[in-house]
Amino acid sequence: MKNLILACSFLLSNLLLADDNYRYYINLNKVVNDKISIQLTPPTLTQAEIEFSFPAMVPGTYEVYNFGRFISNFKVSGKNGAIIKVSKVDVNTYKISPASEIDKITYDVDDTWDKTDLPGTKDKVVFEPGGTNFEDGKNFSINTHSMFGFIKGQLNKNFILEFDKPKGFYPSTGLSDIKLGDTKDIISVFDYHDLVDSPIMYSLPDTSTVLVGNTKVLVSAYSPNKKITARFIAATLKELLNAQKDYLGGELPVTKYAFLFYFIDRATLSGASGALEHSYSSFYVLPEFDSLSLKQEIRDVAAHEFFHIVTPLNIHAKEIGDFDFSNPKMSEHLWLYEGMTEYAAHHAQAKSGITDIDKLIGTMMQKYENSISSFNDTMSFTYMSKHVLEEKIHGQYGNVYEKGALIGMCLDILMRDLSNGKYGTQDLMKDLATKYGKNKSFDDSELFADIEKFTYPEIGTFLRKHVSGKEPLPMTEVLEKIGIDFAKETVTYEFSLGNTDLNFNENTNRLYVAGIQDMDEFGKAMGYKVGDELGKLNGKEIKMDAIKEIINNYYETVKEGDKVTVEIYRPKSKKGKYKVKTLTAVAKKNKTVRKNQISLKQRLTDKQKQTLRAWVGV
């Protein structure tokens, strides 16, 4: 018995000493040339050789970034002075042996926001919301996939991150397992998939919390010039988040969510701004304008990212559920992950009354115009999704936010028509989330059949013809279901003021002619030139605070054959000097061709009224 007790004690002691976790140490107090040093004590290793890797790509980015580009000074030390052999396999991967003798792995990591002098970084800039920024003593915006690597084949282990931090700094994140200290924090994550799904923003805290149902929503903001606060954002988002909760059936599938906002006061390296979604958080890089001018943009972007708690958190293909960080493979269904999410972001706002049906339809029609003018409208959407990482196809990716959203709208209207208003995309997403869920992926090839089982044969036909097939969306047929006439092209004869491109001169407070490439016959008769500044229309001074009233009055009162006068200020060769001239022409209606026009039918059938009411609640 004594020997058994000793044996058990010895075994327990060994188990306590053994550590099968990744233990990372990060010192945020020491930043050298925009680099931070990382130290890793790896999990228990018994194999002779391992491959240690950084992601080539992560979910939500749809582009191979090769985050190993930002790693330097990679070193491995052995236990008790053992010699460890390290060879670099590719930009992201290191082969290490003997693995069982590894004590520590250390390396330096560069931030991505301003780095162009590393191999490949000039031509492949990381979109800022998917990258990392180190500002010593001010802010650390950490997308974990750009800092922390993994041992191939060992993703499903705990990752424990120990941060030394500047005093008073707070880690805003969607993660919950956090031990906060005055100068040290410990953050634990269940596995590598959850780690890369969880950005962290360290700074002096500017945070606000909103309770949405049973979900605690954290809003964290970093505004270098203090133009925007977390409190303002939280107040801006509160109505939206409650509308989204109601849109999802009154409950949210997460207990904690974090909005991380970095407002940048300079141009981004990528030339873009926006956000990257995660299951329990979203990270935003937006221009630091004044609060009010960003209000609706914050709503629209946040609405889209927040709806990703449904896709891909609870509805995703195997390519996402078991993502290959080294050799990523794409799912066929970007229309679902991004398109349906973009549609829901706008539909929820209209259905709750935050916006209205006119804005919703206007937004969707603008997306239609964009989809047919900027992208290949006959390319199979599932083919594009599957091959989106290929250079020849990648340029079509932006269509997920245009045609992808329209696919969502068409499905919603058709379902509500077929079900007499009782079933729409809100119900479909809920049913798909119930069938699958966070830990169960679907097969790409089976999704359309599953959707057809939940809905109607006509929906399956639509998906096969217009999503996996090459046929353009049937906009005329779909909009007719809600009493809207759609015309690909209309010709009318209308009065105009010349159809010039106008801009605003802040120094003179006047509109000026910025371009005449689309100027019509009336504009040519008037004799506008680029640079002309508009002073008076038919003797009335064109004041910016009354511009709408002046223009409306012109169109309401002008008649064929009227003499129209426009007083203009024409720039002289000497800067700041103008010649005042009065241009005249006879009012005449011009042929006007408009594309993709919609109009509400004068009389709606009971069926159309029912579908319209079910679709958007009017």
Residues 423-451 have pLDDT tens digits of 999 999 999 999 998 889 999 999 999 99
- Domain 318-484 CATH superfamily: Neutral Protease Domain 2 (1.10.390.10)
Both tokens of 216, joined, read 């605690």
Q: Of 14 and 92, which is predicted with more confidence?
A: 92
Angle at 56 between CA 127 and CA 95, to 5 degrees: 145
In which band, very low, low, confident or very high, does the pLDDT at 280 lie, cut at 50, 70 and 90? very high
In which band, very low, low, confident or very high, does the pLDDT at 9 lie, cut at 50, 70 and 90? very low
Q: Worst-scoring range by mean pLDDT, 12-16, 133-137, 295-299, 403-407?
A: 12-16
Cα-based torsion angle of the residue sequence 511, 515, 520, 525 in order, rounded to the nearest 10 degrees: 70
Residue closest to 227 by CA, chosen among 292, 297, 320: 292
CATH of domain 206-295: 1.10.390.10
Task: Tell me what the mean pLDDT of segment 344-356 comes to.
Answer: 93
Is the pLDDT reported for residue 299 higher than 70? yes
Burial (CB count within 10 angstroms: exposed 0-12, middle 13-18, buried 19+), residue 177: exposed
Is the pLDDT reported for residue 491 higher than 80? no
Q: Worst-scoring range by mean pLDDT, 358-367, 405-414, 478-487, 488-497?
A: 488-497
In which band, very low, low, confident or very high, does the pLDDT at 96 lie, cut at 50, 70 and 90? very high
Task: Tell me what the mean pLDDT of segment 358-363 comes to.
Answer: 92
Is the pLDDT reported for residue 242 higher than 60? yes
Q: Given this model, what pLDDT does residue 6 score?
A: 39
For 2, 322, 402, the CA distances from 532, given in Å and listed in that order, are 102, 60, 36
In which band, very low, low, confident or very high, does the pLDDT at 558 lie, cut at 50, 70 and 90? very high
Is the pLDDT reported for residue 386 higher than 50? yes
CATH of domain 496-588: 2.30.42.10
Other C-beta atoms lying within 10 Å of the C-beta of residue 590: 15
Equal fold, 206-295 vs 318-484: yes
- The predicted-structure confidence for 563-602, as pLDDT tens digits, reads as follows 999 999 999 988 889 999 999 999 988 887 777 777 888 8
- The predicted-structure confidence for 500-512, as pLDDT tens digits, reads as follows 999 988 889 899 9
Is the pLDDT reported for residue 11 higher than 70? no
In which band, very low, low, confident or very high, does the pLDDT at 120 lie, cut at 50, 70 and 90? low
Q: Given this model, what pLDDT does residue 13 score?
A: 37
- Every domain of the chain and the residues it spans: 19-203, 206-295, 318-484, 496-588
In which band, very low, low, confident or very high, does the pLDDT at 618 lie, cut at 50, 70 and 90? low
Q: Of 119 and 68, which is predicted with more confidence?
A: 68
DSSP state of 376: -
Fold of domain 19-203: Immunoglobulin-like (2.60.40)
Q: Given this model, what pLDDT does residue 591 score?
A: 80
**What percent of the chain shows pLDDT beyond 70?**
96
Is the pLDDT reported for residue 292 higher than 60? yes
**What percent of the chain shows pLDDT beyond 90?**
79
Q: Worst-scoring range by mean pLDDT, 55-59, 410-414, 547-551?
A: 547-551
Is the pLDDT reported for residue 250 higher than 50? yes
Q: Which helix (H) or strand (E) holds 216?
A: strand 215-222
pTM of the model: 0.81
DSSP state of 302: H
Mean pLDDT, all residues of the chain: 91
Q: Given this model, what pLDDT does residue 575 score?
A: 82
Is the pLDDT reported for residue 1 higher than 60? no
DSSP string, 432-449: HHHHS-TT-PBPGGGHHH
